[in-house]
Chains A and B, each alone.
Chain A
Amino acid sequence: MIAERYINGAVLLGLIALPLLALTADEIFTITLTTRAVILALAAVGLNIALGIGGMVSFGHAAFFGIGGYAMGILAFHAQTFTPLDLGAVEIGGTKSMPVIWLVATLISALVAWVIGLLSLRTTGVYFIMITLAFGQMFYYFAISWGTYGGEDGLSIYVRNGFPGLNTLVPIQFFALCFTALCGALILQWRLRASAFGLALNAVRQTPQRVETVGLNPMRLKLVAFVISGAITGLAGALFADLNRFVSPTMFSWQLSGELIILIIIGGVGRLMGPVIGAAIFVALEHWLGGLTDYWHVWLGTILLLIVLFGRGGVIGLLTGKEGPHV
């Protein structure tokens, strides 16, 4: 059995080495694929904070992913059409600057996560799964029927947004940005778990009654975790939109919420690198199986079924021989 920290190190090294190898071999598409995996991993790291540590099975995290995407889409749309963005009381201009877009995406996702969390955390179990699903669907249908920003067709952004000092149109530079964001989120998750807050949250997942008895408020702990979780997934959404230079309501779809959970399950629930391994495997499967057969979802479904039925703890659980936390 292999210790988890070696696995973690190997995965990070692999994520750095793969695009560099691709760069020397001039395989630009591989860099784009890796970037896709990194961004999905970032979204799943966000979800893992709610799901893996906090035990909140959110089936609506696509809402935050989509909000991040649309934050980028709307700001860049106004910048590329030179129209002001009318916020009722004030009018602001659009922007093509990534740091500003990231800030907006993160803040709005956090705000929405706070509202959704406040309402949803009144419920538990299946009801929580279903109410988060319902909120996700609400945003999905809203995006479809909101014609100003493309409705069902989505929005195309013609030039990727800029980052000071970098040329984001060069795939490897954009990859570096996304990878840095992922590392930031991983460090945050790692520190969070070890902090007093993370320990309390872990305890809330296991026995909320005891946490309440020692004088902590489980609801507030969960809400804070949910907000952090939503904000990270929102940031991933903004990056994903920038990768594709396109946003559409599918970023809000419930299949995406399901896929984010799948990433975590494949890698290992509540593990630091679980989402990263899951995302890497998912993107690899999507690419290779998708190239072999049009019906690759059958195989994805079968693999998933086997993992749920027999492979408790995902890939990391399999490699370390330890099951990991239960949700």
Chain B
Amino acid sequence: MSTILIIEQVLNGLQFGVMLFLMAAGLTLIFGVMGLINLAHGSLYMVGAFAAAWVAGATGSFLLALAAALAAAAAAGALIEVVVIRRLYRAAHLDQVLATFALILIFSEGTRYIFGSFPLFLDVPDYLSGPVSLPGGIQYPLYRLVLIGVGLVVALGLWWLTAFTRVGIQIRAGENDREMIAALGIDISMLYTLVFAIGAALAGLAGALVGAIQSVQVGMGEPVLILAFVVIVIGGIGSIRGAFVGALLVGLTDTLGGIFLPEFFKLFMDNGPATQTGSALAAMSVYILMSIVLVLRPSGLFGARA
């Protein structure tokens, strides 16, 4: 096990982590401001990926594809917010879970109806493909580095948005006291639609970016959605900082666990059982991490309220 391999895996884990952050940021923002659990967030991820794959196929431009992903996911998000989600803000969590579960069914089958069951493919553009040499002689795919960069830029942008802009102040005020900011003359339902659309656009962006290294298919959103939930629960629901820390923790645990746990068990077991035990544990590692965090801190690392 060489240093180069370890560094590569750490970078892979970071890349996975920042993509999870794009998903988790929207989820946690929506929960923090509106108090809503949105299972359909994974569907918005899928919408982004499909829009990108379709536009890239039609025009050949990756940048246009990304723009389409952002626009399509934001539009889909705003649409479901106005039609369905808006009625759920005051409902019990159970109703929210069910209604958004219903939206997943509708989105998945609707997408299957339009695009068919076969996966679409979205290619990494030429100018972003191929490896780059990092200091220390490591060859690493440029595209994955770009993903890490995009994720960090979005994280910074979100921090700037919530900390320094007028909308950010309104969002933070909305988290604390809905009636008060409505009384101050801010159109609260407009603000909610905006927050929902921002969250949706981030999910769509993640879907398009990840869609270029995986296949774009129906049902691609749900595994990511569940991991994003794990992320925000670890970080504390409602906290963007928590989502960032949680996303990196989950990304690194998942990636490094898959590589190193089997190796670890080989130290004191036979090869066959070691690989099996190691990979079984690695597959569960993220969830084990989450239950440990919740048992120690029932409202997550940075969570203020349950």
Contacts and interface: CB of A to CB of B under 8 A. Distances in A.
Contacts of B99: 304-305, 308-309
A254 B94 CA distance: 15
Contact of A298 (B97, B106, B279): B106
By secondary structure, the A interface counts as helix
Contacts of B287: 134-135, 137-138, 141
Nearest to B225: A254
Contacts of B291: 119, 131, 134-135, 138
Contacts of A147: 276
B109 A327 contact: no
B229 A131 contact: no
A82 interface: no
Contacts of B230: 130, 134
A287 interface: no
Interface string B29-45: 00100000100000000
Interface in A145-166: 145-148
By secondary structure, the B interface counts as helix
Contacts of A196: none
B279 A145 contact: yes
B105 A297 contact: yes
Contacts of A304: 98-99, 101-102, 105
Q: Which of A133, A258, A308 has the largest number of chain B CB atoms within 10 A?
A: A308
Contacts of B95: 308
A57 B92 CA distance: 11
B298 A123 contact: yes
A262 interface: yes
Contacts of A308: 91, 95, 98-99, 102
B290 interface: yes
A193 B230 CA distance: 34
A302 interface: yes
A218 to B, nearest CB: 15
A215 interface: no
B283 A144 contact: yes
Interface in B165-216: none
Contact of A126 (B84, B104, B110, B237): B237
A152 to B, nearest CB: 11
A262 B98 contact: yes
A59 interface: yes
Interface string B275-286: 010011011100
Please classify how large the interface on chain A is, using the bins under 10, 10 to 19, 20 to 34, 35 or more. 35 or more
A62 to B, nearest CB: 13
B124 interface: no
Nearest to A301: B105
A301 B102 CA distance: 4
B240 interface: no
Nearest to B273: A148
B290 A131 contact: yes
Nearest to A308: B99
Contact of A309 (B87, B93, B283): B87
B7 interface: no
Contacts of B288: 138
A125 interface: yes
Contact of A141 (B92, B98, B102, B284): B284
A41 to B, nearest CB: 18
B294 A123 contact: yes
Contacts of A258: 97, 101
B112 interface: yes
B58 interface: no
A129 B290 contact: no
Contacts of B94: 51, 57, 261, 265, 269, 327
Contacts of A57: 93-94, 97
A300 B230 CA distance: 27
Contacts of B306: 123-127
A130 B288 CA distance: 13
A126 B31 contact: yes
B47 to A, nearest CB: 15
A120 B109 CA distance: 33
Contacts of A134: 230, 233, 287, 290-291
Contacts of A129: 37, 93, 97
B38 to A, nearest CB: 11
B113 interface: yes
A131 B233 contact: yes
Contact of A295 (B87, B98, B113, B233): B113
The 7 closest A-B pairs by CB, nearest first: A301-B105, A141-B283, A304-B102, A301-B106, A145-B280, A301-B102, A305-B102
14 contacts: A57-B93, A123-B298, A127-B299, A131-B233, A135-B291, A137-B226, A138-B288, A142-B280, A145-B282, A301-B104, A301-B106, A304-B98, A308-B95, A308-B99
Interface of B: 31, 37, 84, 87, 91-95, 97-99, 101-106, 108-110, 112-113, 222, 226, 229-230, 233, 237, 276, 279-280, 282-284, 287-288, 290-291, 294-295, 298-300, 306
